Amino acid sequence: MKTALYEKHVRLEAQLVDFAGWEMPMRYSSTIDEHHAVRNHVGMFDVSHMLTVDFEGAQSALFLQRLLASDVSKLSKDGQALYTVMLNERGGIIDDLIVYRLHETSFRIVFNAGVATTDLEWVTAWQQTTAYSLSITPRRDLSIVAVQGPKAIQTVVEILDCPQLMAVQPFTAIFHNELFIGRTGYTGEDGVEIICPNADATNIWSQLLNAGVLPCGLGARDTLRLEAGMNLNGQDMTPDLTPYECALSWVLDLEPSRDFVGQTALAETHRQGIATKLTGIVLQGGVMRSGYEVQSNAGLGTITSGSFSPTLGYSIALARIPRASTGDCSVLIRNKQKAGRIVRPPFVRHGEKVHR
Amino acid sequence: MSETPQELRYTDTHEWARVEPDGTVCVGISDFAQDALGDVVFIELPETGTEVAAGAEVAVIESVKAASDIYSPVSGEIVRVNDQLTDAPDLVNSEPYDGGWIFVVQPLSDDLSADLLTADQYQEFCETDSNAH
């Protein structure tokens, strides 16, 4: 499949890769240059492979309270957003997502590309089960361009002639003509995600390009989110793992009065005790990769996401290791034990080292 | 288009080999290979004195995206390694045929031509290789 911006990527001579059936740019020039552009200036990503879905109707809030692990009634104003997870009945993570309140009776969710079809089938099946009154509309007519970096807001305000964006708080979105602009992202920098009609995507992309915004591929997206300590679904999270095992217990709204899918299983898992945790590892003298074995003071674990941090100049990783693990550890890299250290993510915030 | 200097010999695993005046063989990776790997961030160099067979894994190049083995084009002994790459692994990207050389082998035999590709053969190989992806 191709996004509305595919021809732009080809013209920019991007290295294209298959991602969940989509032909997406891995990098345009250098992943490290693209990474630094986002940390120091501004970069943009085509993330139109993700699926925007609108939930509209009198009982849409009730429905999402049932389907999501966070309570959407916390969204008290139109435009407010929250990050949460959608769980299966075992408490395992189907997807992590951002839900925006559009109006009192309508919400917008963006699903990850790799599980978009699964997600859509899941919510559709639950709508039939609950018989709540709402419509669920997948919006493949919309594209998403993420503009990220310390200069992102200023640039977008100028390009889209949208001064009201200056006053928009993080995790809040506004409508601007046909555009839906949310102050959200997946890089650990300030920025926006612009959801626009497919027909407008190329024009917005070109204007941003002309304003000096550097196009960035999935390679930089991955190093940026990893530095920011953000999970990647399918890699750091799977349907067999609960939020407790994915460093996401903070998103759970567990009031007994609630009744969301997976809540009962979560309570049981919590009662039995959680054996592992998802945390960070830093290492010099090699590069950690997903699947590598970790030896800690409390036993064996596994790297779930590993790469090189362009900001820090050494390797960083997320790893699932025994809950009691702390301090020094060793990582098996291509048949050699390399010394690493367990740290608490994030690794980088606003361009600066934050792990200790 | 990537550069493929005529005077070098190449392998189907994307190393280049240059016979030095003293008979040793200097080895690096091709421009085509460095472009395909992307930003090189770490290199595990062999130790000098190591005996290697042609086709054996000798070094590891880590790019942002993945790790790749580097194979020796010839049998012999590692006599020099490029220590500069420890602090500046990106030389492999910026100067694949000069500052980005990786190691030097004292070959057992001085006849390299049989198994290695000429520049033209290698270029043809790369075209087939990229069309396959």
Domain extents for chain A?
A: 6-49+140-227, 275-356
Task: Name chain A contacts of B62, Cβ cutoff 8 Å.
Answer: 286-287, 308
Task: State the pLDDT at residue B114.
Answer: 66
Q: What is the mean pLDDT of residues A162-175?
A: 97
Q: Look over chain A and give the mean of its residue pLDDT values, rounded to a whole number.
A: 97
d(CA B53, nearest CA chain A) in Å? 20
CA distance A135 to A105: 11
Superfamily of domain A275-356: Aminomethyltransferase beta-barrel domains (2.40.30.110)
> What burial class does residue A197 get, using C-beta atoms within 10 Å of its C-beta: 0-12 exposed, 13-18 middle, 19+ buried?
middle
User: Hey, are the CB atoms on B44 and A287 less than 8 Å from each other?
Assistant: no
Q: Are A331 and A292 in contact (CB under 8 A)?
A: yes
Q: Is pLDDT of A279 > 50?
A: yes
User: Hey, are the CB atoms on A30 and B41 less than 8 Å from each other?
Assistant: no
In this structure, what are the phi and psi dihedrals at residue A227, rounded to the nearest 5 degrees? -60, -35
Q: DSSP 3-state assignment of A44? A: strand
d(CA B62, nearest CA chain A) in Å? 7
Number of CB pairs, chain A paired with chain B, less than 8 A apart: 38
Task: Name chain B contacts of A286, Cβ cutoff 8 Å.
Answer: 42, 44, 62
Task: Name chain B contacts of A285, Cβ cutoff 8 Å.
Answer: 42
CA distance B9 to B31: 13
> What burial class does residue A212 get, using C-beta atoms within 10 Å of its C-beta: 0-12 exposed, 13-18 middle, 19+ buried?
exposed
Least confident of A20-29, A101-110, A168-177, B1-10: B1-10
β-sheet bridge partners, residue A340: A283, A329
Q: Which of A30, A315, A334 sits opposite B38 (nearest CB)?
A: A30
Task: State the pLDDT at residue A207.
Answer: 98
User: Hey, are the CB atoms on B64 and A26 less than 8 Å from each other?
Assistant: no
Q: Are B65 and A305 in contact (CB under 8 A)?
A: no
Q: What is the mean pLDDT of residues A326-347?
A: 97
CA distances from A175 to A155, A160, A164 (A): 17, 12, 10
CA distance A131 to A54: 17
CA distance A172 to A109: 13
Task: State the pLDDT at residue B133.
Answer: 44
Task: Name chain B contacts of A30, Cβ cutoff 8 Å.
Answer: 38-39, 93
Cβ-proximal residues to B118 (8 Å cutoff; 6+ apart), any chain: B9, B10
For residue A150 the two structure tokens come to 């310390």
Q: Which helix (H) or strand (E) holds B18?
A: strand B15-19
Q: Which helix (H) or strand (E) holds A125?
A: helix A116-130
User: Hey, are the CB atoms on A31 and B39 less than 8 Å from each other?
Assistant: yes
**pLDDT tens per residue, range A192-217:** 999 999 999 999 999 999 999 999 99
CA distance B41 to B34: 12
Q: What is the mean pLDDT of residues A267-276?
A: 96
The single-letter DSSP state of residue A230 is -
CA distances from B131 to A123, B126, B128 (A): 41, 8, 5
User: Hey, are the CB atoms on A26 and B60 less than 8 Å from each other?
Assistant: no
Q: Is pLDDT of A160 > 70?
A: yes
β-sheet bridge partners, residue B68: B61
Closest CA to A318 of A288, A351, A353, A298: A288
Q: Are A134 and A173 in contact (CB under 8 A)?
A: no
CA distance A201 to A215: 14
* Architecture of the structural domain at A6-49+140-227: 2-Layer Sandwich (3.30)
Q: Is the fold of A6-49+140-227 the same as that of A275-356?
A: no
CA distances from A349 to A39, A90, A333, A345 (A): 9, 34, 27, 10
- Which position has the higher pLDDT, A144 or A350? A144
Tens-level pLDDT at each residue, chain B (133 residues): 689 999 999 999 999 999 999 999 999 999 999 999 999 999 999 999 999 999 999 999 999 999 999 999 999 999 999 999 999 999 999 999 999 999 999 999 866 656 799 999 999 999 887 654 4
Catalogue all structural domains in chain B, each as residue range(s) with its CATH number.
27-110 (2.40.50.100)
β-sheet bridge partners, residue B18: B26
Closest CA to A220 of A21, A20, A3, A41: A41
Task: Name chain A contacts of B42, Cβ cutoff 8 Å.
Answer: 285-287, 308, 315
Residues 259-318 of A with CB under 8 A from B: 285-287, 289, 307-308, 310, 315
